[in-house]
């Protein structure tokens, strides 16, 4: 019978796992918690299931490639158009011959496949975009610019014009 994992039994196991998952070096974590780097490495791989940095990079790269191979909106649109035409042809044949149920079921399965591809590629929902606009105003600079434009002692007419500007008249 194998010995229980010393890290799994450790009182700070959640903190240890969190640090390992964040990519901290095993030696540093082991030193901080008084554990053997070898046993901590076994815990990381066997108990926590945390893969190494290169493995994470490799997995992310594979995911990027998988996403890049998904069809574009245009390709899906073309496929739907082709499918619609084929279904129309089959329906006409079915009406003329009496039954093409199996062919229609096959076309329905093809449509479902296209639906799945559209969902995977994210083309089944509207495109959303977020725009952040900085609308901060330096009021001191604005006041200084107004005073510079009208002078230190504005005339009565200038004050009325400024009031109209401020009041949006």
* Residue 57, φ and ψ in degrees, nearest 5: -60, -45
Q: Is the confidence at residue 126, as pLDDT, over 90?
A: no
Q: Give the Cα separation of 81 and 83 in Å (integer).
A: 5
DSSP letter string, 6-27: TTTTSTTHHHHHHHHHTT--HH
- 95's CB contacts (< 8 A; 6+ apart) are none
Q: Is 64 helix (H, G, I), strand (E, B) or coil?
A: helix
DSSP letter string, 106-169: HHHHHHHHHHHHHHHHTTTS-------------HHHHHHHHHHHH-SS--HHHHHHHHHHHTT-
- Average pLDDT over the chain reads 76
Residue 78 has what pLDDT? 81
Residue 95 has what pLDDT? 65
- 110's CB contacts (< 8 A; 6+ apart) are 83
Q: Is the confidence at residue 169, as pLDDT, over 60?
A: no
- pLDDT band, very low/low/confident/very high, at 134 (cuts 50, 70, 90): low
Q: Give the Cα separation of 19 and 13 in Å (integer).
A: 10
Q: Where do the structural domains in the chain lie, given as residue ranges?
A: 13-64, 73-121, 138-169
To which H or E segment does residue 49 belong?
Answer: none
Q: Could you report the per-residue pLDDT of 66-118, keeping only the tens digit for each? A: 777 877 777 877 887 787 777 767 766 766 776 667 667 667 777 777 777 77
Contact 48, 16 (CB under 8 A): no
Kindly provide the b/e burial profile for residues 147-163, where b requires at least 16 CB atoms within 10 angstroms of the residue's own CB. eeeeeeeeeeeeeeeee
- 19's CB contacts (< 8 A; 6+ apart) are 29
């Amino acid at each position: 019978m194998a010995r229980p994992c010393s890290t799994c039994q450790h009182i700070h196991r959640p903190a240890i796992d969190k640090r390992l998952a964040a990519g901290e070096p095993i030696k540093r974590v082991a030193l901080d918690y008084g554990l053997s780097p070898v046993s901590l490495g076994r815990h990381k791989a066997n108990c926590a299931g945390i893969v190494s940095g290169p493995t994470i990079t490799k997995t992310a790269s594979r995911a990027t490639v998988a996403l890049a191979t998904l069809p574009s909106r245009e390709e899906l649109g073309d496929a739907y158009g082709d499918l619609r035409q084929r279904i129309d042809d089959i329906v006409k044949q079915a009406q003329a011959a009496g039954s093409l149920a199996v062919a229609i079921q096959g076309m329905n399965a093809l449509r479902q496949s296209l639906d799945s591809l559209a969902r995977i590629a994210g083309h089944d929902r509207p495109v959303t975009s977020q725009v952040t606009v900085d609308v901060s105003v330096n009021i001191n600079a604005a006041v200084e610019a107004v005073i510079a434009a009208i002078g230190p002692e504005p005339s009565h007419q200038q004050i009325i014009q400024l009031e109209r500007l401020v009041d949006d008249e």
